[in-house]
Amino acid sequence: MKTASLPALRVDPALRHAAEEVLQKGESLSSFVEQSVRAQIEQRKARDEFIARGLASRDGARLTGTYVASSEVVRGLLLRLGKAKAKAKKKAKKKAK
């Protein structure tokens, strides 16, 4: 597979220095920039998919007239969070033994 290059990027020297300071052992600035671009691409795809799901849900609710109160949603999320915290706490205790 052929490779391609990203456009050259001029940055403030302070930004370059900050990036170089956080490089891990054996990591190059080029690999850091590439990984950052990959991460940003994934983040933007996830955001776009999230928005698309939200809009589809809104449209579905408008069609059916069926809505869920925000208080019910928050209550459900808090319940899930509580269960996840309890599971993590149990796992941490098990691991500590």
CA distance 85 to 87: 5
- Cα separation, 94 vs 73, in Å, equals 32
Q: What is the pLDDT of residues 19-69, one digit of tens each?
A: 999 999 999 999 999 999 999 999 999 999 999 999 999 999 999 999 999
Q: How is 68-88 classified by DSSP, letter by letter?
A: --HHHHHHHHHHHHHHHHHHH
Q: What is the pTM of this model?
A: 0.69
Return the closest-CA partner of residue 17 out of 32, 5, 6: 32
* Residue whose tokens read 């969070």: 81
- The ranges assigned to domains in the chain are 12-66, 69-97
